[in-house]
Structure 1
Amino acid sequence: MKFWKMNKIKYLISLTTLILVVACGSNKPPESGTAEELYSRAMELFDDEDYLDAASHFEIIKLQYPASLYADDAQFHIAEINYRRKEYIMAAFNFSLLRRIYPGSPHVKDALMKNAMCFYELSPPYDRDQDYTMKAIESFQEFQYLYPEDSLYTEATNKIIELRNKLAYREYFTAQLYTKMDSPLSAMIYYETVINKFSDTEYFEPAFFGKIEMLVWMKRNEEAASMIGAYRKTFPNGPNINNLPNITVSSK
């Protein structure tokens, strides 16, 4: 809710700015007319990639004809203009707004996928805050839940895999950093995070092996031996299968 409250303010500011820019940059204001006439002109501008003028026409349709058959189309294209102009925060807001105001619109499915793509584009490198990454994953998962038979299901899966690998690498990188700092206990905590939360990523196996190395380093041989056995069962052809240490556990 906080995200949308903040961006509602940004949306109003951006809308005001858009009106001022269009007013200054256009030779004439958007024409008046019926909703159909305005929409036809807006789409001509949109197809010509005259996005600012197109957006002003779509906004007028929403303001003057909010109950018309073109209102949801106008809202969708406003969001699409934001997306094409790489204004991803505003695009996400407007795609979400369409879903809330026009839940019966034929654009709802595309708006959900595009909303997820906005967060995907906003997802930063692994060493930054990953809030947008999490929002993207949640949005792609919501799309898959609502449209399991859709042709874009596979694309959503691929994006989720990519983003989860980024989150896993963030934890794995931190583990390696602590290893270089001679802090095996701290490193092991991050390896365990990868093992417990990101077993579906490419960092699962190296984190598993990394934890074994940390246990050996700390001379926790019984735990290390148990992990080695688990590694052999889980990764019988794993890249580190021949690098597993030989552990001797004293009998009591």
Structure 2
Amino acid sequence: MTKVHQYIFIFLASLLTFGCGEFYKLEKSTNWDELYEAANRYYDEGEHNKAIILYDRVLPVIKGSGKAELAEFNYAYAHFRTKRYIEAAEYFKTFFDTYNRSPLAEEALFMNAYSLYLDSPDFNLDQRSSKEAVNAIQLFMNRFPESDSYERAISMIDNLQKRFEEKAFEESKMYYRLTEGLFPGEFYRACIVNFQNFAKSFPDSDYNEELAFKLVEVSAAYAERSVFDKKEERFSQSLDFAKDFMKKYPESKYLETVNEIHAESKEKLDDHYDIKEKYEARTAEALKIREEEKKNQEATEALKKVGN
């Protein structure tokens, strides 16, 4: 190592030692003005972790004073800059609730929503925090409809809604896969309910055509595997789903298959009606015979009583 490099190394080490020593002294200091200025300085220099530590010490002391507003705003942002989004969201919301007339209030409420948005998970994970983010974004949009950040907020909601849609679609596919098991009955019913709910929740989704086809397919299979007394109702429902599909998606790649399922379901329903009609006829005939036998028995007993 050359002497020049040695001098540079010693100089940098001295700066680091001085900086650490200065911060250590500040941590122990009770000079609140000094702590306040140092916290702001560290924040401005991008030393957000150090700023947070000093703000933690000074904020309880300056609360209610003229210095508190900027300090609390910086404190929230320092958490945001260090990617502590849940804490940042909480502090931005607290700032807004405390200083709702401040020139910084609009930005604070937006950052509350944005922090929650950044913390929201991918579509394949639990979306409860995403729903909290949507509520926060809507609160911002309702409170500041003229904000420059309004369109950005709309795009955030659109992105979150897409995650909800992807999550719901994955759940629908899961139910569909479960119908291939040994005991598919309950999963057929779950699919029918789930597919219909998806269409209601996401009427403009690109997935609706595929799920509408699967609804026809699943409902027909469910009807075929149903007990006799339920076949008529469930085949009729399947036919209705098929008619709705043909009307809504006349150019669909699934149309030929839907037509085939519709024809098969119609044939099976007609067969069911024939069997039902024959069964009812036999039942009526058996009932008639029993009634006649009962009458004959009653007449025979009456004659015996007369003879006695």
* Fold in common (TM above 0.5): yes
Alpha-carbon contact 2:79-2:85 (below 8 Å) kept: yes
Match of 2:158 among 155, 161, 173: 161
**Structure 1 residue 83: Cα displacement:** 0.8
Match of 1:187 among 175, 187, 191: 191
Question: Which moves more between the two structures, 178-187 or 219-228?
Answer: 219-228
Report the CA distance shift for 1:206/1:155 in structure 2 as closer, same or farther (over 3 A). farther
Counterpart residue identity of residue 241, structure 2: M
Aligned twin of 1:138: 135
Identical-residue share of aligned pairs (%): 22
Match of 1:215 among 212, 219, 224: 219
Report the CA distance shift for 1:240/1:70 in structure 2 as closer, same or farther (over 3 A). farther
Query: Does 1:226 find its partner at 2:226?
Result: no
Please give the TM-score of this superposition, normalised by the length of structure 2: 0.62
**Structure 1 residue 175: Cα displacement:** 1.6
Equivalent residue runs for 1:1-252 within 5 Å: 26-29=23-26, 32=31, 41-59=38-56, 62-182=59-179, 183-219=187-223, 220-231=234-245, 234=248, 240=253, 242=255, 245-246=258-259, 247-248=262-263, 249=266
Counterpart residue identity of residue 198, structure 2: V
**Structure 1 residue 188: Cα displacement:** 2.2
**Structure 1 residue 61: Cα displacement:** 5.5
CA distance in 2, matches of 1:25, 1:212: 73
CA distance in 2, matches of 1:69, 1:54: 19
CA distance in 1, matches of 2:21, 2:206: 52
Report the CA distance shift for 1:200/1:98 in structure 2 as closer, same or farther (over 3 A). farther
Alpha-carbon contact 1:82-1:88 (below 8 Å) kept: yes
**Structure 1 residue 243: Cα displacement:** 5.6
Alpha-carbon contact 2:52-2:79 (below 8 Å) kept: no
Report the CA distance shift for 1:206/1:120 in structure 2 as closer, same or farther (over 3 A). farther
CA distance in 2, matches of 1:42, 1:192: 56
Report the CA distance shift for 1:218/1:55 in structure 2 as closer, same or farther (over 3 A). same
Report the CA distance shift for 1:60/1:195 in structure 2 as closer, same or farther (over 3 A). same
Alpha-carbon contact 2:249-2:255 (below 8 Å) kept: no
Alpha-carbon contact 2:246-2:255 (below 8 Å) kept: no
**Structure 1 residue 218: Cα displacement:** 2.5
**Structure 1 residue 137: Cα displacement:** 0.8
Larger helix share, 1 or 2: 2
CA distance in 1, matches of 2:113, 2:205: 20
Alpha-carbon contact 1:123-1:132 (below 8 Å) kept: yes
List gaps (5 residues or longer) in structure 1: 1-22
Query: Which one has more relative contact order, counting CA pairs under 8 Å at least 6 apart?
Result: 1
**Structure 1 residue 213: Cα displacement:** 2.8
Report the CA distance shift for 1:119/1:202 in structure 2 as closer, same or farther (over 3 A). farther
CA distance in 2, matches of 1:150, 1:186: 43
Report the CA distance shift for 1:44/1:116 in structure 2 as closer, same or farther (over 3 A). same
Aligned twin of 2:276: none
Please give the TM-score of this superposition, normalised by the length of structure 1: 0.74
Counterpart residue identity of residue 120, structure 1: Y
Counterpart residue identity of residue 211, structure 1: L
**Structure 1 residue 193: Cα displacement:** 2.4
For residues 129-156 of structure 1, the C-alpha deviation after alignment (integer angstroms, 9 at most, x for no partner) is 2210110111111111122222222222
Report the CA distance shift for 1:243/1:144 in structure 2 as closer, same or farther (over 3 A). farther
CA distance in 2, matches of 1:47, 1:134: 33
